[in-house]
Structure 1
Amino acid sequence: MAEHVFHLKAHWPGGRNDSGIIETKNLQTKVSIPPEMDGPGIGTNPDEMLLGAAAACYIITLAAMIERSKIETVDLTMESVGIVDVTDGVITYKKIIHNPVVTIKQENKKTKSLLQKLALKAEKSCMISRALKGNVEVEAILSISN
Structure 2
Amino acid sequence: MALHHFHLTANWPGLRNDVGEINTGNLQTKVSIPLEMDGPGIGTNPDEMLLGAAATCYIITLAAMMERSKLKKKDLVLCSEGIVELSNGVITYRKIIHRPKIVLLHNAMDRDIRLARRLSEKAEESCMISRALKGNVIIEINPSIVKGKEF
Q: Distance in 2 between matches of 1:97 and 1:3?
A: 30
- Give the structure 1 partner of residue 84 of structure 2: 84
Q: Distance in 2 between matches of 1:145 and 1:102?
A: 6
Per-residue CA deviation, residues 95-139 of structure 1 (Å, 9 max, x unaligned), is 000000011112322111111110110000000000000000111
- Give the structure 2 partner of residue 3 of structure 1: 3
Over the matched positions of the two proteins, sequence identity in percent amounts to: 64
Q: Distance in 1 between matches of 2:82 and 2:23?
A: 23
Q: CA deviation at 1:59?
A: 0.1
Gaps of 5+ in 2: none
Gaps of 5+ in 1: none
Aligned length: 146
The CA RMSD over aligned residues, in Å, is: 0.7
CA contact (8 A) 2:117 2:145 kept: no
**Map 1:97-108 → 2, pairs under 5 A:** 97-105=97-105, 106-108=107-109
Q: CA deviation at 1:71?
A: 1.1
- TM-score if structure 1 supplies the norm length? 0.98
- TM-score if structure 2 supplies the norm length? 0.95
Q: CA deviation at 1:142?
A: 0.8
SS in 1 for 2:65: helix
